[in-house]
Amino acid sequence: MPNTVANDFQVVVVGFGPSGAVATSLLGDRGLRTLTIDRQRGVYDKPRAIAIDHEILRLLDNLGAADKVRPYIAPFPASQHFGARGQLIRRIDMVAEPYPLGYTPSMVFTQPPVEAALRAHAQAYPGVSVELGTELVGFTDTGDGVMLHLRDDGGTIRTVTADYVIACDGASSGVRQQLGIAFDDLVFDEPWLVVDLQVEDAALDRLPETAAQFCDPARPTTFIIGPGRHRRFEIMLMPGEDPRAMEQPDRVWQLLAKWLTPAHATLWRAASYRFHALVATDWRRGRVLLAGDAAHQQPPFIGQGMCQGIRDVANLVWKLDRVLRGQSSAALLDTYGEERGAHVRELTGRIKAIGHVICERDPVAAEARDARILAEGGGVPRTITRQDIVPPLTHGLLAGAAHAANGTLFPQPWIRTPAGRQLLDAVSGAGWRLVLDGRNARLASPAPDDRAGAAGLRVIRIGGSDDSALTETDGVIATWFDRHGCAAAIVRPDHYVFGVAGDAPALAALMTELTTRLQ
């Protein structure tokens, strides 16, 4: 049942970085009374995150925010990995066209303008209040809500109440610390220097043509091509090097000397980090939930840090909305930590494995690594895709009958419409959906539409002769149904597949299971 106590807000979001801004938009889009606070007033003017993927752009497109960030986004080119002797040993690229979600699968972006656009979008919702220069100094979960003590940058303290709190307050999260939630250390701790540059047009050809990973045991180094003239180097620091001293411009230019001099580029940022692999032991305590860096940190080797935080809030907000509206019990919120915790651990493990390959500093072991990787490709450099590295969901609100499609992202094809070609979400909307393979007669009797409506599912038919069916341009969903040997998929609001069915009885059972699980 919904909370009967009239709290000031339904949700308070602590932190207005990318995860907090997207959480705020998701809440505002659902009409929830939301307060978002951040102790800083402005957007940090240096780039930190640099990569997003098609799952994140799909979410932003659903919110109407994608066009606001597109000017600051560019495709992420293939990353070539070079071994200890400078030889190409493998590539990491994106999946080929037709793209499964309709967007370029891997992208780079420049964070300050993207973060500013996300903030502006979030602040435009009528039910959203944003208070910058405001710090959370303490809170109490009262059982009926959360009492939060806020201090503005003039020193004034006031108290507000909320039904729930989402903590997006970063790696040093004060909320997590007050809750006493520890991190599980997944055992990765390496010092790196991250250098961002604006490179002169005439000097761009001095740099690699694609993103590159130099797996040189003497100094592992990553090179990333950002939008426009933005270029990034991530450089491993060696034992005995002082991280603060290595940030100084003279040392930075020494490290970049084989590529650039100060005449070729403007140094935008140089910051030393310890790349960690950490996951919170608990993602929810009562009415307070962690998200983004407050809940996890991972090495940056395939650019998933910000993506993970946005996946968190996309997973959480639709569940929180159901609970606040009395459509589901608060137990549904436990699936948030189940799903995201397992996903983050699995993906972090895969990123760690890539990191250990890159960070090998023993020359003999590095030679053996290069030989092994080349052997995996039959003696030639093979290509793996970033999308294959990101795992599906494996825990939580998924159908009980195991199937390879469960927990995967449902594709989004281009659809033919009288107005021209449009993406599926623009035609049919998001939310809970039942997507049917219109080519398959096994679902014709009994018709699932009435039962789907009662279960809160929008019915979408793709292909076939039914007048209501949508026609896709590239066969993306037809191929997906064929590959998974099914004819129907129930898709969640965050675009993950709850479960699939091959015929009408199996689909009826699946809808019954969903209704029961969502109570």
pLDDT band of 22, cuts 50, 70, 90:
very high
In a domain, 199, yes or no: no
In a domain, 339, yes or no: no
The tokens of 288 are what?
Answer: 């307070």
Specify whether 326 is located in the same domain as 420. no
In a domain, 131, yes or no: yes
**Parallel/antiparallel/unpaired status of strands 157-167 and 288-290:** parallel
pLDDT band of 40, cuts 50, 70, 90:
very high
In the three-class reduction of DSSP (H, G, I as helix; E, B as strand; rest coil), residue 176 is classed as helix
Question: Is the pLDDT reported for residue 463 higher than 50?
Answer: yes
How many CA atoms within 13 Å lie on the side-chain side of 337? 18
* CATH, residue 40: 3.50.50.60
Specify whether 320 is located in the same domain as 454. no
Specify whether 37 is located in the same domain as 136. yes
Among 300, 270, 267, 296, smallest CA distance to 282 is for 296
Point out the domain boundary residue: 315, 331, 347. 331
Give the mean model confidence (pLDDT) for residues 124-147: 98
Q: What local confidence, expressed as pLDDT, does residue 3 receive?
A: 53
In a domain, 482, yes or no: yes
* CATH, residue 506: 3.40.30.120
Specify whether 425 is located in the same domain as 321. no
Give the model confidence (pLDDT) of 311-336 as tens digits.
999 999 999 999 999 999 999 999 99
Point out the domain boundary residue: 331, 366, 394. 331
Number of structural domains (the chain) is 2
- Residue 52 CA to residue 56 CA, distance in Å, equals 6
Give the model confidence (pLDDT) of 378-421 as tens digits.
999 999 999 999 999 999 999 999 999 999 999 999 999 999 99
In a domain, 352, yes or no: no
Question: Is the pLDDT reported for residue 460 higher than 80?
Answer: yes
Q: What local confidence, expressed as pLDDT, does residue 465 receive?
A: 82
Residue 257: CB partners within 8 Å, gap ≥ 6? none
Residue 516: CB partners within 8 Å, gap ≥ 6? none
Domain that holds residue 493: 414-517
Q: What local confidence, expressed as pLDDT, does residue 444 receive?
A: 57
Give the model confidence (pLDDT) of 207-247 as tens digits.
999 999 999 999 999 999 999 999 999 999 999 999 999 99
Q: What local confidence, expressed as pLDDT, does residue 1 receive?
A: 47
Residue 371 vs residues 195, 326, 368, 378: alpha-carbon distances, Å: 30, 58, 5, 11
Integer distance in angstroms from the first to the last C-alpha of the chain?
Answer: 10
Instruction: Check: CB of residue 441 under 8 Å from CB of residue 504.
Output: no
Point out the domain boundary residue: 331, 357, 376. 331
- Residue 509 CA to residue 106 CA, distance in Å, equals 37
pLDDT band of 454, cuts 50, 70, 90:
confident
pLDDT band of 282, cuts 50, 70, 90:
very high
